[in-house]
Structure 1
Amino acid sequence: MYTVKEVAVLLDLTEHTVRYYSDKGLVPNVQRDKNNNRLFDEESLNWLTGIKYLKQSGMSLGDIKTYVDLCLVGDSTIQERYQIIVKYKAAAMEQLEEAKRRAKYMEDKANHYHDIIKHLIPDDTNPGKWKTVAL
């Protein structure tokens, strides 16, 4: 069994986030010790890991709660869960493409600066050195 603090470290979440997800009913099998502290088992870690990735893909907590509730109903909800995942998979893929565009932009910028440092091209990155353009 894991404490909130241990779970937060294991899953790279804040303690507040672990408690919040638990309080929202997103982790269905949270247990409590005699002092009413939350205790998490491996199944709880699985739920939290899934929640973390669903949230990072852009899924709202409301949709995550719906997804969790459908999981708890069982196999009869597989089609509905599939539709939710497909919807957010598309959003995650768009995030990935945007991240690739940002990485390419930064790579091009770094290469450009490298060429300036090596005196292969003049410094054209400083707006203070640009020629004045008539408006």
Structure 2
Amino acid sequence: MNIKSAAKMFELSIDTLRYYEKVGVIPPVKRDKNGYRNYTTMDLNWIFLAKSLRKTGLSIESMIEFATLAQSSEDVSKAQKEILHDQLQQIETRIFEMEQARDLLVHKIATYDKHIAQFQAGPVEEKDIEQLWKMAHVKG
């Protein structure tokens, strides 16, 4: 597959594919007799993996490290797995934080009219103000 088709397949620019190869985010792509890149299934898997890992927030440096390890003749599976595991932990933390934020928003939307009515009725006593940070469903 040529670079134009690969770029279209993964909704990336041709420049991005060239950059990924140049800096080592993906292993070098073999070229045909005319010097054009010829993407194999393995290359396409690397592009897909790179795009997916980038979406998780993995840094370009970590992606380069991951790809570099893959090209090593030594057993690097533990090191590669550690990169993936670390990123998974970061995603799980972000998901937890986002769920907490979502829960707070759901609560604030559900109680919004009640709170507005309470404030419009006059001064609110300190004891009647909810302590959002103490609410079980929105604790961070």
After TM superposition, is the score higher than 0.5? yes
Amino acid at match of 2:57: G
Amino acid at match of 1:88: Q
Q: Which runs of 5+ in 1 are unaligned?
A: 114-120
What residue is the counterpart of 2:56 in the other structure? 57
Establish whether residue 73 from structure 1 lines up as the match of residue 72 from structure 2.
yes
Listed one character per residue, the Cα deviations across residues 15-47 of structure 1 (whole Å, up to 9, x for unaligned) are: 322221011122224133455443312111111
Alpha-carbon contact 1:2-1:41 (below 8 Å) kept? no
Q: In percent, how many aligned pairs have the same letter?
A: 23
Instruction: Give TM-score scaled by structure 1 length.
Output: 0.66
What residue is the counterpart of 1:17 in the other structure? 16
Alpha-carbon contact 2:24-2:68 (below 8 Å) kept? no
Alpha-carbon contact 1:70-1:81 (below 8 Å) kept? yes
Question: 1:106 offset after TM fit, Å?
Answer: 5.8
What residue is the counterpart of 1:2 in the other structure? 2
Alpha-carbon contact 1:11-1:49 (below 8 Å) kept? yes
Instruction: Give TM-score scaled by structure 2 length.
Output: 0.64
Q: Distance in 1 between matches of 2:92 and 2:74?
A: 27
Alpha-carbon contact 2:2-2:36 (below 8 Å) kept? no
Q: Distance in 2 between matches of 1:25 and 1:52?
A: 14
What residue is the counterpart of 2:81 in the other structure? 82
Alpha-carbon contact 2:21-2:28 (below 8 Å) kept? no
SS of 2:88's equivalent in the other structure is helix
**Count, aligned residues:** 123
